[in-house]
Amino acid sequence: MNIAKMIDHSLLRPELTTDDIRHGCEIATRRQVASVCVRPSDVGLAKAAVAGTGVLVGTVAGFPHGDTCTTIKAAETRELIETGADEIDMVLHIGRLRSDDTAYVHDDIAAVVAAAQGRVVKVILENAYLTDEQKVTGCRLAEQAGAHFVKTSTGFAPGGATLADIQLMRATVSAHIEVKAAGGVRSLDTLLTLHQAGATRFGATATEAILDDLAGRERGERPGAAAAASEDAY
């Protein structure tokens, strides 16, 4: 089990400078994580920084609230793919899901999937604002619309990934649809617990602390508290 290749190293906070982005890309490549997930305007910078390393460049569409028009989400996605993005994490329209406007939610996701031209699309439900029934509906609509992942959270809402939500999402979608946990994945123990429940990808800013803890355990050291003390994950 390659833990590093389950991590999307997150660089989405609004205050990050271009030097912060370059440093984050260096962490991602040195640690050989699955991807670095950057703000849309940073895709070109990140693509150059990780070129030839095997680390993917992910970015976001309709982030963080999901309420931009479908045409804008699709146009944003097309531009990001042209700039070099390998994966798109989109936020579904939370208010329309809560309104039971399932046709709108489905078509909104489907438009981004089409614009992504075969690249991986992860659909963020933002579970903190949803009932369990709405989470199930959102997962099913994401699958029907052709998405590759369902994802718990942006990290910018009141709550993040929970064990109960991962279990619910994994039980809702088909086996070929993966589940991404994001928001609060600050320690190796949290990651392992959520992985056991069915998550296969994790959004995190605490990447180095998590992987340092893993390396220490592999050397037989007592699990440390470094990851738990790290800054928030998205």
Comparing C-alpha atoms, which of 53, 109, 50, 136 is closest to residue 85?
Answer: 50
Catalytic, out of 8, 42, 151, 165: 151
Is 89 one of the annotated active-site residues of the chain?
Answer: yes
Catalytic, out of 42, 122, 180, 213: 180
The answer to whether 56 and 34 have CB atoms below 8 angstroms apart is yes
| Rounded Cα gap, residues 159 and 168, in angstroms | 16
Is 5 one of the annotated active-site residues of the chain?
Answer: no
Catalytic, out of 8, 42, 89, 165: 89
If 0-12 CB within 10 Å is exposed, 13-18 middle and 19+ buried, where does residue 44 land? middle
Is 180 one of the annotated active-site residues of the chain?
Answer: yes
Report the 10 Å Cβ neighbour count for 99: 12
Q: What are the residue numbers of the active site?
A: 89, 151, 180
